[in-house]
Amino acid sequence: MEELFVPREAWVLSGSMLRWGDSVVKRCDAVVFLTLNAEERMRRIEARELVRRQSGPVYEQVLADFLIWASNYDDPKFEGRSRTRHEEWLARLNCPILRLDASPPKEVLRDQILTWEPPPS
């Protein structure tokens, strides 16, 4: 990431950076944190994974295991990637954070991000 993103004038990195992205995050101008209700989040995850994964019994079990893992996101006691861990991570950041509900269409989210004016640092 240091070689791919940081040297560019502008860049966007998508996804969770927990436990691996601290050196890159220190160079971020801002973070956008998307949230979604658990039911819709799981629906979207399952739809995405069905497109990404191959078929067959082995992959069906992998998908089932992944969906169980992902369903724990909102459980504060879950030790894996979770809302609690993300909130702890966000609290440690030194850059502006834009929090958005991810239920609107992508174009609406894009426009909300592009028109956002972070507070002066």
Domain count, the chain: 1
| Residue 6 included in any domain | no
CA angle, 74 then 53 then 80, to 5°: 25
Place of tokens 């691996």: 20
Q: What is the pLDDT of residues 37-79, one digit of tens each?
A: 999 999 999 998 888 877 677 788 888 999 999 999 999 999 9
For the chain, give the percent of residues with pLDDT over 70. 98
31: three-class secondary structure by DSSP? strand
pTM of the model: 0.85
| Residue 5 included in any domain | no
| Residue 16 included in any domain | no
The per-residue pLDDT for 121 is: 67
| Residue 74 included in any domain | yes
| Residue 72 included in any domain | yes
| Residue 7 included in any domain | no
